[in-house]
Amino acid sequence: MMLNSTVLSTSRLSPNVKKLDFEWNVDVEPGQFIMIWSPGIGEIPMSVSHLGNPKSITVKSYGIVSSRIMELAPGEMIYFRGPFGNSFDIRKGKKLLIGGGSGMASLHPLIGPGVHGLVAGRTSSDLLFSEEFEKDKVTLATDDGSVGIRGTAVDALRTIDVDQFDSVYVCGPELMMYGVMKELGKYSAFVQFSLERNMKCGIGVCDSCSIDGFQLCTQGPVFEMETVKNMREFGKERLNISGRRIKYNL
Amino acid sequence: MNSTPLRTEIGGITLENPLMLASGILDENGYTMARILREGAAAVVTKSIGLDERTGYMPPVVFPGDGYLLNAIGLTNPGIDSFGDEIRVAKEAGKPVIGSIFGKDAEEFLRVALKMESYGVAGIELNLSCPHVKGFGSEIGSDPALVEEIVGELKRKLKVPVFAKLSPNVTDIVAIAKAASASDGLVLINTVRGIAIDIFARKPVLTNGYGGLSGRAIKPIGVRLVHEVKKETGHAIIGVGGIYTASDVMEYIMAGADAVQLGTVLMDRGKSVFREIAAELGTLLEKLGEGSIRNLVGVAVS
């Protein structure tokens, strides 16, 4: 079913990232996503970055549909299907969130008092929501060194004593998460990854988002370390938008 | 008592139960197909593969409604030359993998089929019925002469069995079925052409506008076409369209199907549906007092 609502407000978080707020009175769990439709143009998956009511999505411009969604003004209609997917299993104890680029949108609902963050991106404007962590509880990393550590999320992770955390939640580009998985494998914390693949149908039939036989849209996108570690495709290969197998160059 | 009451056979392929995965659902990635086979499907049919890579349509490519699903994916596929890995991985599950193919004419069908056969598939299913891509599928499948030429050419050149998947979007399906009589089995039916309009956006939801209707809503149409084609041709048939339960499977079998394919039900019941329906079928068979599902093929056709 296609749902719709009215955009209540918008705010620009960085030169190419915008937050859109809209009324939607249903329960959405942290980590779930919706498919946003721009009528006559196309449909893309979006994490629900702010739960409660109104809800928000955090849109980064990367293609024709996301650009059109970013142009939506208060009062305009927003169309969507969902919510889809499973959610993060939020454990008691000390938490570390590791977000790469727009992956922070999916982790945003987990930010709270005492929660630590590792926020990474190519450059300073890619670092979403880093200011929402308590000052002494956030580590930043950028590829270009414009802010924080010059390096990757894995470089930044090596500066953190992971043993102090009971649970770790990770979302970002696949190769970043692959590196993070290798590094976190040294520790015993409970770890969950929110994976990312080409999302098309959202309802577990089209096979575009599948990884190792799991459908991200219905069985994911959140998977535990044990599952991810045993995946043959994760971090190694994926299908492109046509279904052609692409090997990552590692 | 028969120790393999659910075992059936189509085109010389033995199936441990009559439940196959239909083309177009969860069959683009070899790992997914292998998992579905391990979940209890007797065989899988791949996504339809053509000569060249196609990205298909921009989403929305599906629209789920009450009791149905509309889709217009647009024959998204990597091109036959890039599909070998998926077959290899799917075959790790040790069960039959049937390659679905499409083309614009007999020559193109043959090129794709020979390559697909070289990957080690158990059979080839011809998509003569995709309802939403111009120049392919049902545009070809509604021309009896072309169907006869394609099926004939493939039967002459291939070693593996050839199945012809037909469209319900034709005036006389029996004429098309007869044109495909050289095939090892007919697959009935593909989706029924449809559309959904979002009344607030005042536009069709699917990017392609028209799509193919599947799911519970089309089951009576599928069973009727299987029944009609069985009655008129006696040909071996794989039934597909709106199967959600063991009793749906039984209807198709009694209408003349030797095996069936499940697709849209996976949206509602997930991949475990194969194991569940197989178990339900066993119970149902006992209730019907039959030792083998083979005894029931076509019993409702006079």
Q: Quick: pLDDT tens for A124-144.
A: 999 999 999 999 999 999 999
Query: Is the domain of A31 the same as that of A107?
Result: no
Q: Is the pLDDT of residue B141 over 90?
A: no
At A166 the pLDDT is 97
- Give the pLDDT band of residue A1 (cuts 50, 70, 90): confident
State the CATH number of the domain containing residue B238: 3.20.20.70
Q: How far apart are CA A181 and CA A218, in angstroms?
A: 22
Q: Is B67 on the interface with A (CB under 8 A)?
A: no
Question: Closest to B85 (Cβ–Cβ): which among A2, A37, A245?
Answer: A245
**Chain B within 8 Å of A2 (Cβ-Cβ)?**
yes
* pLDDT tens per residue, range A147-165: 999 999 999 999 999 999 9
Enumerate residues 45 to 74 of chain A having a beta carbon within 8 A of any beta carbon in chain B: 65
pLDDT (0 to 100) of residue B226: 98
What pLDDT is stored for residue A250 in this prediction?
A: 60
- A198 near B CB under 8 A: no
Cβ separation of A207 and B86 shorter than 8 Å? no
Where in the sequence numbering do the catalytic residues of B fall? 130
Query: Helices B106-118 and B144-157, interaxial angle, to 10°?
Result: 30
Instruction: Examine the fold and report which residue of A84, A113, A147 is the final residue of a domain before the chain moves on.
Output: A84
CATH number assigned to the domain comprising residue A100: 3.40.50.80
Whether residue B166 contacts residue B132, with contact meaning beta carbons closer than 8 Å, is answered with no
- pLDDT surpasses 90 at A89: yes
Number of other residues whose CB lies within 10 A of the CB of residue B291: 13
User: What confidence tier does A213 reach under pLDDT thresholds 50, 70, 90?
Assistant: very high
The neighbour count for residue A152, using CB atoms within 10 Å, is 18
Tell me the mean pLDDT in the region B126-142.
78
Q: Cα(A218)–Cα(B111) distance, rounded to whole angstroms? A: 36
Number of compact structural domains in chain B: 1
Q: Within a domain: residue B302?
A: no
In a domain, A89, yes or no: no
- Nearest to residue A46, comparing CAs of A245, A244, A221? A221
B118 near B87, Cβ under 8 Å? no
What confidence tier does B136 reach under pLDDT thresholds 50, 70, 90? confident
Judgement on whether residues A113 and A69 belong to the same structural domain of the protein = no
What residue type is A210 in one-letter code? S
Q: Is the peptide bond prior to B96 cis by the omega test (within 30 degrees of 0)?
A: no
pLDDT tens digit sequence for B259-272:
999 999 999 999 99
pLDDT (mean) for A57-82: 95
| pLDDT confidence of residue B281 | 97
CA dist A109 and A27 (Å) reads 13
Indicate the pLDDT class of residue B133, thresholds 50, 70 and 90. confident
Prediction ipTM score: 0.93
Judged against a pLDDT cut of 70, whether residue B2 lies above it is answered with no
Look at chain A and report how many structural domains it folds into. Answer: 2
pLDDT 10s digits, A216-240: 999 999 999 999 999 999 999 999 9
